[in-house]
């Protein structure tokens, strides 16, 4: 997974683990070893991880947070060099943020609950920079064709009726489009927003998908971003 918008910045390191790297969800059996192996392989020595609770909290992290799990956070922001931020996802979208002038990075776990709660604006507020300069990459997640919702969730997204479709009596929601609308409303420029095309539900060999697999134990990927140098 690569974003063109980030390609000019060789010190910006970001990515997403794959199924072959193993389950990364914090606190499940085996995940600690998988996470250590994965982060070491990508050169992320110091990692601050968001706990993940489908809310909007996105605090700032610093080097003292390396190795820690930040409670009640679904996003993190840092300007510290060589500190990597991490969230876990499995159908929810990892959303990567970078502001070049201030050398600030951010990372959000964005599922429908967090998006409705305001995780996208939460990250942008914590970054506290001119949103015109923020670059944003929306990673792989469950895309509209596979994201069926019920009427209660559709009601939560009533302001996004253009992004809700009906097919054979079922309702589907286009979360990357909702995220994009929220980014634009927060002042980002459309040329600075890029969405990965991959759907976690479709890419069965590559990604875990909660909706597809319904595992007894959550099997998530780890997303990360950081600035080296």
Q: Does 202 bind Zn ion (CB under 5 A)?
A: yes
Q: What is the largest CA-CA distance in the chain?
A: 53
Stretch in the footprint of Zn ion (CB under 5 A) among 46-54, 81-89, 146-154, 220-228: 146-154
Residue number of the CB closest to Zn ion reads 199
Which listed residue (146, 171, 192, 215) binds Zn ion by CB under 5 A? 146
Stretch in the footprint of Zn ion (CB under 5 A) among 53-61, 124-132, 191-199, 217-225: 191-199
What is the number of other CB atoms lying within 10 angstroms of the CB of residue 59? 17
**Termini Cα distance of the chain:** 22
Provide the minimum distance between the beta carbon of 200 and Zn ion in the complex, in angstroms, as a whole number.
Answer: 7
Stretch in the footprint of Zn ion (CB under 5 A) among 71-79, 119-127, 138-146, 173-181: 138-146
Which listed residue (117, 134, 138, 199) binds Zn ion by CB under 5 A? 199
Provide the minimum distance between the beta carbon of 210 and Zn ion in the complex, in angstroms, as a whole number.
Answer: 13
- Pick 107 or 199: Cβ nearer Zn ion: 199
Q: How far apart are CA 175 and CA 164, in angstroms?
A: 9
Provide the minimum distance between the beta carbon of 24 and Zn ion in the complex, in angstroms, as a whole number.
Answer: 21
Provide the minimum distance between the beta carbon of 88 and Zn ion in the complex, in angstroms, as a whole number.
Answer: 20
DSSP assigned state of 44: -
Q: How far apart are CA 163 and CA 31, in angstroms?
A: 35
Residue 173 neighbours by CB under 8 Å, 6+ apart: 112, 144, 147, 149, 153, 154, 157, 160, 163, 164
Q: How far apart are CA 51 and CA 77, in angstroms?
A: 14
- Pick 157 or 201: Cβ nearer Zn ion: 201
Q: How far apart are CA 177 and CA 149, in angstroms?
A: 15
Binding region for Zn ion (CB under 5 A): 146, 199, 201-202
């Amino acid at each position: 997974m690569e974003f063109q918008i980030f390609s000019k910045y060789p010190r910006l390191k970001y990515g997403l683990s794959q199924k072959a790297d193993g389950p990364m969800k914090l606190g499940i059996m085996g995940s600690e070893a998988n996470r250590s192996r994965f982060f070491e392989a990508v050169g992320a020595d110091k990692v601050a991880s968001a706990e993940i609770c489908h809310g909007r909290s996105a605090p700032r992290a610093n080097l003292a947070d390396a190795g820690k799990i930040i409670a009640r956070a679904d996003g993190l922001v840092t300007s510290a060099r060589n500190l990597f931020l991490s969230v876990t996802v499995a159908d929810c979208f990892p959303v990567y943020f970078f502001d070049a002038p201030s050398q600030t990075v951010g990372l959000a776990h964005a599922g429908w609950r967090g998006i409705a709660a305001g995780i996208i604006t939460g990250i942008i507020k914590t970054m506290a920079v001119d949103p015109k300069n923020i670059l944003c990459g929306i990673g792989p997640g469950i895309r509209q064709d596979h994201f069926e919702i019920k009427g209660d969730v559709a009601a939560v997204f009533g302001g996004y009726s253009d992004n809700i479709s009906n097919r054979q009596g079922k309702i589907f929601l286009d979360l990357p489009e909702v995220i994009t609308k929220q980014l634009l409303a927060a002042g980002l420029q459309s040329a600075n927003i890029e969405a990965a095309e991959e759907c976690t539900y479709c890419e069965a060999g590559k990604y875990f998908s909660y909706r597809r697999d319904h595992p007894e134990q959550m099997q998530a990927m780890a997303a990360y971003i950081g600035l080296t140098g």
